[in-house]
Structure 1
Amino acid sequence: MAEIAYGVAGKVLEQLGSRTFQEISSVWGVRSDLKKLEHTVSAIKAVLCDAEERQASDQRLRTWLGELKDVLNDAENVLDEFQYRVLQKEAMKRYGSTKKKVCYFFSCCNPLVFHIEMAHKIKNVRERVDAISGHKDKFNLAQGPEPRNIKIHKRDMTHSFVDPSNVIGRDDDRKKIIRLLMNPDDRRNVNVIPIVGLGGLGKTALAKLVYNDILVVSHFQLRMWVCASEDFNVTRLIKEIIKSAIDKIDENFGVHGLQNNLRELLRDKKFIDNLGVDELQFRLRELLKDNKFLLVLDDVWNEDRNKWMELQDLLLGAYNGSKIIVTTRNNSVATIMGTVPTYHLHGLSKEDCMSLFVKLAFKEGEEKQYPNLLEIGNDIVEKFDEREWKFVSKNEIWNLKQNEGGILPALRLSYNLLPFHLKQCFAYCSLFPKDYEFQSRLLVQFWMAHGLLQSPDNENQDLEDIGDLYIKELMSRSLFQDVYEDGFFTYTFKMHDLVHDLAISIAKGECSVVTKTSTLAAEVCHLSILESGQEVTTQLEKLSKVQTIIFQTEESMSILKACISRFKYLRVLDLCNSSFEMLPNSIGSLKYLRYLDLTRNDRIKQLPDSICKLYSLQTLLLGGQEVI
């Protein structure tokens, strides 16, 4: 919730800092209130990084953040109305006739009346923001710098042991990695082999299989295993590498084969902890210089090239033929550290998934006693149809507390380490169905409509360029898969089902899928509607601040009109695959609308004149084309 509030606060401050607001606020008599609002929102935004770290363990803080998000959304809506009026005025100057201008002035939208109304709305929202800001002091939130990587919620430290019988479907991957380890390379003393894949896919298990393989054990004089996920502190890593060597030293050399100088260098683990940095690096270099070693750096997140270079200098001067295996979810890490092409780990085959299901669900041989359960397992492994996905989505399993060792907490680490500006972008992807094929260009327009893209620092950059960078960043962190680049520098890609579940868990309460039997939280802002009917209409009547509607089913004119009438703050309206011959004239009342999708509708004959009132519209999709 803190990350959402942070995003909205950023949008509010960007609007308040724009030249348009600065120029017009004085003329309209609202400058004082807008300056106070800007000051208060800035103070709130400064503590939201700390709030995000603490929200998981403090229910009162989560409640406050929810209230803050609602107030900031209201502030954004008021400022957007302000901006809409400016755009409307510019359009009238450019295109309106004298007669229309006169009629407009004496209409119910008289500018003088509007100025008074806006001044009242701005004062009201400023007072509400002041009130909610006053409550933040009771949480003793610390001010922080502008967006930084949030505190790492570390995974459990990994170890090198594995029972090979418990690892299914990775034998080919094991053989390929071992071949890479055995390959000599006259150009380098040490090669770094990155293994990249989605969290929970089995990178660590594969590395364990390789590490304990009899060929590998006999090939390397030294083997060391270090889990790097907590932080990439070079001094800590040196200590852990030396300690791991102590654990494996007798196994590699034999008690009588261990050189005396190495015994003296290593001694015991407690002794290592008390050494200074200079002594540590000396002992590490002496340990490695005459020994062909294998080092596994498991679960690496570091993207600071300088930190890696500092450690690399101590490792790469080692005995020729030494190897380092790096497991990571992030392609950027692999690019920084790897000296050979990245090994991308993919999902298991259907047959291997079924074998894994049998192993986890039954005791040995027990599956024969329960053929019905075996059939159900096969159905689970198969791709579900829509009806079965709906059943799963409503299952009580989602209300169960996730164990610390479960898959979603493991995947959530990928989310926790995202920069603030990417967190909302990722969460909003939950609105699209599983196995949905995203198009980078359209997803960027969707993000733009919600103001999720940071303003470019370079005047030669467009917002679309920023969005493209966001897409590539999420790809590099393995949150998107099945990536295909066409010849026009755009991408199609999908989200793994588990990653989609992660997005759903993060966006819960903010984004919802609507069916006849769903239950919507009153604060929900973004909807993906899977079914139609009175039950759905009744649910929508309980909502008021919806900003996104994506119809995934054939919608009726009545429900469309109801949505247009009720949800005045809509930014995104997706009517893809609809069958309307004509849109309702009331669509012109959606003054905040920025994204309208009418693609794949062969029946629509014309657009109503009122669509010209959508002064905020950024993206209009028609047929197979788009107008931006």
Structure 2
Amino acid sequence: MKWLRNPSNVYQTTLNSNISLLCIVGHGGMGKTALLQQVYNDEMTKELDLKMWICVSNNFDVNRVISNMLESLKNERTQLETLDALQKSLESMVKSKKFLLVLDDIWNDDKEQDKNKWENVLSPLASGKLGSKILVTTRMESIALMISNVMKKKNEMLRLDGLKDDECLLLLLRYAFVIVETFNAHHNLLPTTRKIVKKLSGSPLAARVIGGVLNSHLDESHWIRVLNHDIGSQNDIFSVLKLSYLFLPKVLQNCLSFCSIFPQDYEFDKDDLVRMWIALGFIQPSNIRSETTKDAGERYFNVLVKKSLFDKFHNKHRTYYKLHDLLHEMVRFVSGQEYFSIVGDEELSIENPETIRHLYVDTKNRKVFRNMDKFKKLRSLIMTYIWMVPIFDELTEIFKTLKSIRLLCIHAPLEEIPEEIGYLTHLRYLNFVEALMVPLPRSVCNLYHLQFLIYDRDRKFSDDDDFLPSDLNNLRNLHYLKLSSPGMYEIGKLNALQELDGLYVQNLAGYRIEELEHMNELRILDAKDACKAKLCDKRNLTDLSLEWGSLERINHNHENVLDNLQPHSCLKKLKINSFKGAMSAIWMNNVHLISNLEYIRLEDCSAWKTLPPFWQLPFLKSLYLHDMPNVEGFDYKFHENDKIRVFPSLEVLYIKKLKAMEDWFIATAAAYECLFPCLTKLYLEDCPNLLELPSCPPKLEKLEIDNIGWKDCKWLQGISNYCSISIRNCQNLTYLRGH
């Protein structure tokens, strides 16, 4: 962190004098990436203008790396293709900006052409501002030296050689005993654990993974069996990781093996991966009465996360998961010949294509697609083709030939979808990504086994778009539907639908909100411009997002609409955006009707003056309030002598642009004895009239305030020394009391 604070070497006269470089070197699994994640997400990096995290891996391509940088900065895929255009765009983006760039997992170094490639990647960054930083992770010191030479920098390097045995032991125990108290009842396992640690060579990854193997059976015989298993000699981390696979049940081995077809560093979406597992028949019927197949799939996934086989990542847009590159190599090795991937433009050269069941293809070479008739027994096909040359003929032949496919995902700018897709009668999962203005062919309506249909086009629809065939409602086995469409005719016939992402309602027969009346399997609903629906009967509905069109004036009809959208009391997640009614819905003010809510997000409810009594909700953990300029505070209905519990379970509170809000609540001091007892994160921004909290939340770990009118912070007295505090643009604040 000291290195991050220091400016670049201002005495250098090289092209990259504004930029500092540090390389982290170590064997796989030593924690290089984990260390940089801590740096990348540290509060200190908020002072930077730009941040980029790029996974390079062993398929190094200059255009791809620069494209990924631009995508990281713009949060959208670039349409540029030539190196010159990409370099100019990147140079423009970073010019006079202080940035942090992480280049994770670099491999190539042994050729002069690789050095030239890195010069092409790094040269546009020279326009960055003084204080910019580049962090590199690699397994080889020679790469650190090469990157330093390219940037004409001194070779600053930090080598990670692994944990000491005692540190490795503590890490293993943390993952073996998820509940700390459990360890106190199993001290007899400690001698065996120490012997296991001796075989891990200080690898944090191995400690986590073996901890995951051990946590399924907390008995000595199982731990001794792991110890005596052939996990190789020291420095043989591959055999240690292999053990984690061998100890999995067969159903979880299948799920994990499927993930090996994706490239290294692939960002998995949990929900979408579970859908794929279901489509391929990997999820066994559950013995739990109320558990759906999706619930079982999520349970499978959570077990793999618990066993440290997936790592969880967050950015400001989403949550995703990755396989560590060593785990990816291991799973690829043990999974056999059923799983295969083609990345790059090489020709197909596979000895036994008939053994392959699951295939991932990422190429610009159309010949690869022309030779796919060899894969007669293919069950899943995931294609990425980001190139403007059409592949209509190739797709036509694929659809005619590969009739056993159950899962099809095409990531390509398609201009037309062949009618021959109707030949894929076994299809369970169909996903088109980044297709152009392309209607779905009528033959899709014949895919009667289809369970998951996802079609996100690259632009918004107009009401005149003739996009969906009218018979699409024949797909009665659909469980999940996501369409960027102005509407689907008689969607109510899809009564097996459990998740609906994007419902656009029109005042036309077959397109009205009443279509939802008999869809009682719905679990997640995203409804827009809704008028009325029997949502209160849908006990499986746990996630509801309501978004209105952008109107500039108060619309009292919105209040009637929201009143009629009362959900079942089982609802756990509620989001409302651009609501122009003057007040909240009646059901939102009855705590008993929304008692199970855990997450609430309200945005642009600009006419509200009072917030519902959310402070009474017993399970609410996250509350986000944004752009509600007339809100004065929370509704309060308690007597002066009552001792109330205010937000008894709330952990995260985010309030932004509530400019009229002054008082939090009106109550006696005694009533505040239980104010925010579980709050760990508090974010306040652009609330210039907001008064201080009466007291400091006892578990507060993070406080960020920006443009708040406080003069001092008396309520911070007694705050924990471990609380992170960030204060910006608070001109009236002159000092902090008690801190």
TM-score (norm 1): 0.31
TM-score (norm 2): 0.26
Report which of the two has the higher share of strand. 2
Higher RCO, Cα 8 Å, sep 6+: 1
